Structure 1
Amino acid sequence: MDFDLPESAAAVREGVLAIAGKYDQEYWSRCDADKRWPEEVWRELVAGGWHALAVPEEFGGGGQGLLELAVALEALAEGGAGGAASFMYLLTPAFGGLTIARHGTREQQEEFLPKIASGELETCFAITEPDAGSNAINISTHARRDGDSFVVNGQKIWISGVERADHMILVTRTVPAAEARPRTAGFTVLLVDLKEAVAEGTLTYQPIPKLGTNTVASSTVFLDDVRVPAERVLGEVDMGFAVLWDILNPERILAAAGGVGSGELVLSLACEYATERAPFGKPIGTNQGIAFPLARVKAQVELARLMTYKAAWLWDRGRPCGSEANIAKLTAADAAWQAADRAFQTYGGMAYSLEYPISRMFRDARIAKNIPVAEELVLAHIAQHELGLPKSY
């Protein structure tokens, strides 16, 4: 058993931290306030190939795995990005690069992966619906076969990155949920040309005003007779659930990596403040009422990191990792939230001031307990699959 990071992952961490170190908290706060994608950071990640780590080398990528992608995301978050880092590594590097490399046909790989590796093409992912949040089985967006194409109708919600993506990885039903046997049958995953659909007026979207994570917009998406060529199916028609889980588990693992990095960042800011702030003649960090809660959060972050790396390691080897991905997401999201909460308390009233980044990190950390899967559903999964308790949903 070896707990050292592989040399490849260690090099990734060093490289991404070097980029993150160029951008201070004022930069990230401006991006958040302006609701602006961190374009300067993204361009540097693309120029160094840090976004295409999981794209095979033959298509211009790094030829590495989910572990390296998770380490990169963690480093970007820890280096200053905080919660903004997660979407920078989920939207195109994971939803696009990782999924197409794993499930795309040779033709799809040759068409999409070089463009992803060069930064020419970006993607987003659409599964959630107004009446089917965490219950993906009940999605109703329907794709009907029409000759050499599928015609798609439906609605998605909370879809992040639509405004800048070129293609959407879209989860549809080709067999209605009520007719599917088993219930996980009848899913088909499609690669939708967003620019084309928007230009034709068959796909429209409306950004949703949000509390946090404002460096990327999240939108409601309306699909009205969107036509998708049959050669743009990812995986097999009606058998898309296998592709879906190979998207959702990495999503949870990468979300966990973002939580670990965000927790480290917030802890460093809190400890710096607790060392400098001395209203009673000595740093407030000397008080156990301040120090002990921060120390406990540090322990939580370290435990979350271990499970995140384990889950990524399993996924890279093609081994079952559902429970590990869920546990990593659960523990990392809670650690990031506890870090933000304790940092808020450490800063006292100044945490409420927008002059400091703590309020932004506090807002960003809270949503991680709900997405990409609510912690209650994670606990239900653990209870059923790890403890053998009856299914509760």
Structure 2
Amino acid sequence: MDFDLPDSATAVREGVRALAARYDQDYWTACDAGKRWPQEVWDDLVAGGWHALAIPEEYGGGGQGLLELAVALESLAAGGAGGAASFLYLLTPAFGGLTIARHGTPEQRAEFLPAIAAGELETAFAITEPDAGSNALNITTHARRDGAGYLVSGQKIWISGVERADVLVLVTRTTPAAEATPRTHGFTVLLVDVPAARAAGTLTYQPIPKLGTNTVASSMVFLDDVRVPADRVLGEPGQGFAVLWDILNPERVLAAAGGVGSGELTLEIAVAYARERAPFGTPIGAHQAVAFPLARAKAQLELARLMTYKAAWLWDRGRPCGAEANIAKLTAADAAWQAADRAFQTFGGMAYSLEYPIARIFRDARIARNIPVAEDLVLAHIAQQQLGLPRSY
């Protein structure tokens, strides 16, 4: 067993942390308050090739794997971005670059990957629906054959980044759930030209007012006979569930990496405050009531990091990693939340002041327990797949 990161991942950590150091908490607070995409950070990621780590070198990318992508996301989050880092690394680097590199046809890879690597094309991912929620098997957005392609109609919810996207990685059904045997049959993943569909009036969206993570908009998306050519199918028609799982496992791993990085940022801010704050003459960090919960949060983050790296390592080697990816997401989200909660308590009443970033970090840490998959479903997966308990749904 070797717990040293490969040189490639170490270089990524150093490079992305140096990039993140250019932006302070005032920058991230301003982006969130203004509901503004952190364009300057994105431009720096593109300029350094940090967004294209998982794209093969022949298409202009870094030729690295999910582990390096996870380390980059963790480093950006820990370096100051916090929860915003997950969107910077999920939307285009993972949902676009990683997925198309893994499942695209040679023609699709040649068309899309160089543009992603050059920062000229951005992507978003659409699976969740209002009436299906976490039950992906129950989605109803339907793609029906029409001539040399498909016409797609339906509705998606909580789709982040669609307002920026050039391509939407869209999960549809070509066989209705009631007719699918097995239930995972009949999914087809499509690459939708968002500007063309918007221009035709067949794709519209409506931003959802949110409590937090406001550096990227999340929207309701309405599809009304969106035309998609047949050569825009990702994977095989009707066999998209294999592609879907290969999207969702990396999504969980990267969400976990974001949780670990966000938790580290939270502890850094809380520890600095605990060293300086001395209302009774002694720094509050000297008291075990303050120090021990922060120390426990640190221990939990280290454990979550180990499982995150293990899951990424397995995925990069083409080995099953569903359990590890889910456990990584579960533990990292909980560790980040515990760190945020203890940081809030460390700051006392000042945690409520927007003078400090703790209120934003605390707010954003909570949603990670619900997305990209609710912790209850993760626990159900572990109970059924790891413990062999009967299904509860």
Partner residue in 2 for 1:85:
85
Secondary structure of 2:2's match?
coil
Partner residue in 1 for 2:194:
194
Partner residue in 2 for 1:315:
315
Secondary structure of 2:205's match?
strand
In 1, the alpha carbon distance for the partners of 2:281 and 2:127 equals 55
Partner residue in 1 for 2:99:
99
Partner residue in 2 for 1:223:
223
Partner residue in 2 for 1:350:
350
In 2, the alpha carbon distance for the partners of 1:29 and 1:376 equals 31
Secondary structure of 2:51's match?
coil
Aligned ranges 1:272-287 → 2 under 5 Å: 272-287=272-287
Partner residue in 1 for 2:248:
248
Partner residue in 2 for 1:39:
39
Partner residue in 1 for 2:378:
378
Q: In structure 2, what residue type is equivalent to 1:385?
A: Q
Q: Is residue 27 of structure 1 aligned with residue 27 of structure 2?
A: yes
Q: In structure 1, what residue type is equivalent to 2:76?
A: L
Q: In structure 2, what residue type is equivalent to 1:213?
A: T
In 2, the alpha carbon distance for the partners of 1:392 and 1:113 equals 41
In 1, the alpha carbon distance for the partners of 2:226 and 2:350 equals 50
Partner residue in 2 for 1:233:
233
Partner residue in 1 for 2:112:
112
In 1, the alpha carbon distance for the partners of 2:207 and 2:366 equals 20
Secondary structure of 1:51's match?
helix
- 4+ residue runs over 4 A deviation: none
Q: TM-score, normalised by structure 2?
A: 1.00
In 1, the alpha carbon distance for the partners of 2:172 and 2:41 equals 33
In 1, the alpha carbon distance for the partners of 2:151 and 2:74 equals 39
Q: Alpha-carbon deviation of 1:143?
A: 0.1
In 1, the alpha carbon distance for the partners of 2:85 and 2:339 equals 17
Q: Is residue 325 of structure 1 aligned with residue 325 of structure 2?
A: yes
Q: Is residue 177 of structure 1 aligned with residue 177 of structure 2?
A: yes
In 2, the alpha carbon distance for the partners of 1:152 and 1:206 equals 18
Q: Alpha-carbon deviation of 1:388?
A: 1.0
Q: In structure 2, what residue type is equivalent to 1:117?
A: A
Q: Alpha-carbon deviation of 1:147?
A: 1.0
Partner residue in 2 for 1:297:
297
In 1, the alpha carbon distance for the partners of 2:356 and 2:196 equals 42
Deviations 1:320-376 (A, max 9, x none): 000000000000000000111100000000000011000000111010000000000
In 1, the alpha carbon distance for the partners of 2:100 and 2:89 equals 15
Q: In structure 2, what residue type is equivalent to 1:329?
A: K
Q: Is residue 4 of structure 1 aligned with residue 4 of structure 2?
A: yes
Q: Alpha-carbon deviation of 1:265?
A: 0.3
Q: In structure 2, what residue type is equivalent to 1:327?
A: I
User: Which segments of 5 or more consecutive residues in structure 1 lack a partner in the other structure?
Assistant: none
Deviations 1:246-302 (A, max 9, x none): 000000000000000000000000000000000000100011000000000000000
Deviations 1:225-263 (A, max 9, x none): 100000000000000000000000000000000000000
Q: Alpha-carbon deviation of 1:124?
A: 0.1
Secondary structure of 1:69's match?
helix
Q: In structure 1, what residue type is equivalent to 2:164?
A: R
Q: Alpha-carbon deviation of 1:133?
A: 1.0
Secondary structure of 1:140's match?
coil
Q: Alpha-carbon deviation of 1:182?
A: 0.4
Q: Alpha-carbon deviation of 1:149?
A: 1.0
Q: Alpha-carbon deviation of 1:391?
A: 1.2
In 2, the alpha carbon distance for the partners of 1:314 and 1:320 equals 7
Partner residue in 2 for 1:140:
140
In 2, the alpha carbon distance for the partners of 1:350 and 1:296 equals 22
Partner residue in 2 for 1:149:
149
In 2, the alpha carbon distance for the partners of 1:387 and 1:244 equals 24
Q: Is residue 70 of structure 1 aligned with residue 70 of structure 2?
A: yes
In 1, the alpha carbon distance for the partners of 2:354 and 2:148 equals 54
In 2, the alpha carbon distance for the partners of 1:277 and 1:320 equals 48
Deviations 1:174-212 (A, max 9, x none): 000000000000000000000000011000000000011
In 1, the alpha carbon distance for the partners of 2:275 and 2:392 equals 47
In 2, the alpha carbon distance for the partners of 1:384 and 1:149 equals 39
Partner residue in 2 for 1:128:
128
Q: Alpha-carbon deviation of 1:81?
A: 0.2
In 1, the alpha carbon distance for the partners of 2:383 and 2:162 equals 35
Q: In structure 1, what residue type is equivalent to 2:55?
A: V
Q: In structure 2, what residue type is equivalent to 1:121?
A: L
Q: In structure 1, what residue type is equivalent to 2:203?
A: L
Instruction: State how many pairs are aligned.
Output: 393
Q: In structure 2, what residue type is equivalent to 1:7?
A: D
Q: Alpha-carbon deviation of 1:77?
A: 0.1
Secondary structure of 1:108's match?
helix
Q: Alpha-carbon deviation of 1:392?
A: 1.3
Deviations 1:109-162 (A, max 9, x none): 000000000000000000000011110000000000001010000000000000
Q: In structure 1, what residue type is equivalent to 2:378?
A: V
Secondary structure of 1:170's match?
strand
In 2, the alpha carbon distance for the partners of 1:220 and 1:195 equals 16
In 2, the alpha carbon distance for the partners of 1:348 and 1:163 equals 38
In 1, the alpha carbon distance for the partners of 2:143 and 2:65 equals 32
What is the aligned-residue identity percentage? 82
Q: In structure 2, what residue type is equivalent to 1:195?
A: P
Partner residue in 2 for 1:268:
268
